[in-house]
């Protein structure tokens, strides 16, 4: 089964909106074991959209069309689907009532043009909406095969709003694709999130294991570089039942953790800050933070974690040198230095009444500071009787340096907490 993605919207071509939907759909298709070789973006033009859909059907068994299901004049996906199917659009009375009821439940007036969202190509099935007004569509298409024999293919239409699209894909599209593919087995994936080595470095570490999996066919590994979120290693297994596939994935995860050690900080959606908040809670420690170049990013990420209030005392954005000197007790002198980072960590712990102090200072750029070039970052840590610092030299522009500094600082704390945990 081959499935490709067509993303609809002139705004995608103009760069006004980044097409994250196609990336997400591609990832989910891969996890479901469905081949996807092409992704296309096309503007809001009925002729070009129809041509793009026909081209996609000529080379794939199924197409996911994302976007263009709204109520305005430039939402043309329904009309293009009807053209490709060779049928008319028919207004579905049940959908009309559903759309009316949704507006009524929100105490809002329904514009007449919203009724266009109840137009369905003859022969299509509806994917019910649970989060918006535009229903999705499953459209069977009779296609002429290479030998002239008719072949049934399928077009899926889903909204461009990400959370609506994701719900429909998981709830309706992927199960239907797998049914059409005759796939009665189960596919399970798990993603290990790592920090501290490059993609090529991880591949080198895992080469013997990848070779072994190639021989046995029990599972597959894939790498995904994710910027400030580290390198992801996805494990996928297929078996007759979900329980069997899950058991294979869990066994492989254990092997990978042995090989990668502390490089692994989380699984699936677990972030670095999730790991640190959990470790702080287990250890019974509280944390105070002092930030210079990161300007509060560390505190913002930590407070995104539910339950962070139990361990995170607060943060001080000591951006001006005077704040470092007067509030945190940093000695007069260069503020981009290891001693300054250590003094900031001690000061944060003292001022905020925390068990652990974490601090970051450096040069985000574009100018040099205290004789240090952009990308130079010092992380300070006050942990028990130890006060230490670490120099990190980071690549990229101002924003990337700040983001990488944030996760580098949190990772330093993670490693220290793990060391304490092992020491018992």
273-423: CATH homologous superfamily? CinA-like (3.90.950.20)
CB 344 within 8 A of CB 323: no
CB 417 within 8 A of CB 275: no
Q: Does the structure show a pLDDT above 80 at 185? A: no
CB 261 within 8 A of CB 206: no
pLDDT digits (tens, 9 = 90+) for 359-377: 999 999 999 999 999 999 9
Altogether, the residues listed in the chain come to a count of 424
DSSP codes of every residue in 104-127 = HHTT----GGGGGGGEEETTPEEE
* pLDDT score for 133: 78
CB 219 within 8 A of CB 248: yes
* pLDDT score for 40: 98
* pLDDT score for 184: 65
Strand order in the sheet with 220-225: 220-225, 231-239, 186-194, 264-267
Instruction: Judge if pTM exceeds 0.75.
Output: yes
The C-alpha atoms of residue 351 and residue 327 are separated, in whole angstroms, by 8
Question: What are 201's two structure tokens?
Answer: 């470095």
Question: What is the number of H-type helices and E-type strands within the chain?
Answer: 14, 17
pLDDT digits (tens, 9 = 90+) for 93-140: 999 998 888 888 878 888 888 888 999 999 999 999 888 878 999 999
Query: How does residue 143 score in pLDDT terms, banded at 50, 70 and 90?
Result: very high
Question: What are 249's two structure tokens?
Answer: 């994935």
Question: What are 142's two structure tokens?
Answer: 């009779």
What average pLDDT does the structure give for the chain?
94
- Dihedral angle, C-alpha 324, 329, 335, 340, nearest 10 °: -130
Question: What are 331's two structure tokens?
Answer: 């000695």
Percent of the chain with pLDDT over 70: 100
Which CATH number does 186-267 carry? 3.30.70.2860
* pLDDT score for 253: 98
How many Cβ atoms from other residues are within 10 Å of residue 132's Cβ?
A: 18
Query: Where are the domain boundaries for CATH 3.40.980.10 in the chain?
Result: 3-180
pLDDT digits (tens, 9 = 90+) for 7-21: 999 999 999 999 999
The C-alpha atoms of residue 396 and residue 217 are separated, in whole angstroms, by 39
Q: Could you tell me which residues come within 8 angstroms of residue 207 by beta carbon, excluding any fewer than 6 positions away? A: none
Query: Where are the domain boundaries for CATH 3.90.950.20 in the chain?
Result: 273-423
Query: How does residue 166 score in pLDDT terms, banded at 50, 70 and 90?
Result: very high
φ, ψ for residue 393, nearest 5 deg:
-110, 115
Residue 138: asked if its preceding bond is cis (omega within 30°), the reply is no
Q: Which of 29, 52, 62, 59 is nearest to 155 (CA)?
A: 62
Class of domain 3-180: alpha beta
Parallel/antiparallel/unpaired status of strands 287-291 and 186-194: unpaired
């Amino acid at each position: 089964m081959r499935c490709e993605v067509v993303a609809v919207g002139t705004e995608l071509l103009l760069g006004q909106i980044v097409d994250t939907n196609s990336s997400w759909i591609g990832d989910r298709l891969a996890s479901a074991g469905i081949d996807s070789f092409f992704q296309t973006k096309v503007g809001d033009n009925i002729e070009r959209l129809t041509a793009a859909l026909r081209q996609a059907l000529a080379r794939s068994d199924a197409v996911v069309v994302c976007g263009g299901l709204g109520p305005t004049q430039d939402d043309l996906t329904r009309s293009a689907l009807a053209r490709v199917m060779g049928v008319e659009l028919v207004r579905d009375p049940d959908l009309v009532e559903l759309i009316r009821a949704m507006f009524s439940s929100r105490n809002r007036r329904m514009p007449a043009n919203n009724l266009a969202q109840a137009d369905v190509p003859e022969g299509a099935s509806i994917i019910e909406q649970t989060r918006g007004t535009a229903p999705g569509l499953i459209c069977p298409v009779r296609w002429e095969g290479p030998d002239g024999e008719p072949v049934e293919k399928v077009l899926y239409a889903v909204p461009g709003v990400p959370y609506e699209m994701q719900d429909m894909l998981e709830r309706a599209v992927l199960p239907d694709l797998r049914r059409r593919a005759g796939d009665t087995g189960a596919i399970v994936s798990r993603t290990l999130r790592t920090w501290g080595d490059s993609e090529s470095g991880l591949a080198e570490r895992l080469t013997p294991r990848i070779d072994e999996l190639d021989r046995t066919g029990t599972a597959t590994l894939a790498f995904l570089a994710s910027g400030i979120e580290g390198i992801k290693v996805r494990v996928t297994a297929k078996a007759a039942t979900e329980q069997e596939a899950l058991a294979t994935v869990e066994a492989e995860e254990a092997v990978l953790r042995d090989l990668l050690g502390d490089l692994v900080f989380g699984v699936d959606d677990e972030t670095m800050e999730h790991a640190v908040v959990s470790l702080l809670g287990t250890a019974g420690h509280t944390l105070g933070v002092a930030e210079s170049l990161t300007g509060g990013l560390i505190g913002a990420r930590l407070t995104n974690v539910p339950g962070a209030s139990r361990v995170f005392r607060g943060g001080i954005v000591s951006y001006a040198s005077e704040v470092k000197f007067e509030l945190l007790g940093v000695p007069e002198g260069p503020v981009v230095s290891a001693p300054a980072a250590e003094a900031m960590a001690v000061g944060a712990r003292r001022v905020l009444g925390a068990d652990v102090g974490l601090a970051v200072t450096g040069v985000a750029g574009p100018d040099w500071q205290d004789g240090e070039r952009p990308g130079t970052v010092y992380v300070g840590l006050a942990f028990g009787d130890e006060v230490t610092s670490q120099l990190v030299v980071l690549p990229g522009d101002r924003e990337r340096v700040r983001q990488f500094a944030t996760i580098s600082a949190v990772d330093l704390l993670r490693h220290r907490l793990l060391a304490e945990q092992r020491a018992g």
